[in-house]
Amino acid sequence: MKREKLSDEAVEAFLAAHAGWTKEAGAALALARTYSFEDYAAGIAFAVRVGFAAEARDHHPDLHIGWRRVRVVWSTHDAGGITALDTEMAERTDQLAR
Amino acid sequence: MKREKLSDEAVEAFLAAHAGWTKEAGAALALARTYSFEDYAAGIAFAVRVGFAAEARDHHPDLHIGWRRVRVVWSTHDAGGITALDTEMAERTDQLAR
């Protein structure tokens, strides 16, 4: 159930309730957020923590690490879009960024 | 000197001598290579090692971490393109991937 594609309404409700996240159209619709950090090392450390959480849940985001920023993109390949697993992991990502 | 933009010929010579690397046109010309890994954790570990090398040299790539793959993109912002620092770091990245 967690891996079924969410309705457009459910995605919009998530976006309205979670500042910073946007939907991103690519191969499939995805949830994306860019986080800023004080230094480069902090961005790397954050990416590693997200990586651990991803591995634990067996659901892996795209991570784009730049200069003091990390962009996290969640999507469910099998469903071809955004699922409840993605919104769950987006919230987890926000927790890790705090 | 390391941070002066390389000539087109120098960039082509690097590409000819280093399999896997391509030039990528973005905000500025960049050197890019995608590495594949046996599992997700190996990709994260590689990205961290590249991050350490980047910090040590005070020159930071864009790192795109996906499912068992990491794309590394080197460019020198101040020079608006590819410099000798980028080709040096591209070789270092190859060493870390071995």
> Which residue of B34, B37, B40, B63 to mutate against A (max A Cβ within 10 Å)?
B63
Residues B21 and B90: beta-carbon distance below 8 Å: yes
The rounded mean pLDDT for chain A is 96
Contact A54 B64 (CB under 8 A): no
Residue numbers in B near A41 (CB within 8 A):
51, 55
C-alpha A49/C-alpha A53 separation (Å) is 6
List pLDDT tens digits, range B27-41: 899 999 999 999 999
* pLDDT of A6: 97
Q: Indicate whether B1 pLDDT > 80.
A: no
SS3 A83: strand
CA distance A16 to chain B (A): 27
Is the whole model's pTM more than 0.80, yes or no?
Answer: yes
* pLDDT of A27: 85
Structure tokens belonging to residue B81: 């393109």
Q: Indicate whether A74 pLDDT > 80.
A: yes
Residue A44 has its nearest CB partner, among B48, B64, B67, at B48
Question: B40-57 and B84-97 are packed helices; what angle lies between their axes, rounded to 10 degrees?
Answer: 140
Report chain B's C-alpha Rg in angstroms. Answer: 13
Q: Indicate whether A9 pLDDT > 90.
A: yes
Residues B96 and B53: beta-carbon distance below 8 Å: yes
Q: Indicate whether A1 pLDDT > 80.
A: no
> Which residue of A34, A37, A63 to mutate against B (max B Cβ within 10 Å)?
A63
Residue A64 has its nearest CB partner, among B44, B64, B67, at B64
| Chain B residue at shortest CA distance from A52 | B41
Confidence band (pLDDT; 50, 70, 90) for A93? very high
Q: Which residue has the higher pLDDT, B9 or B27?
A: B9
Complex ipTM, two decimals? 0.94
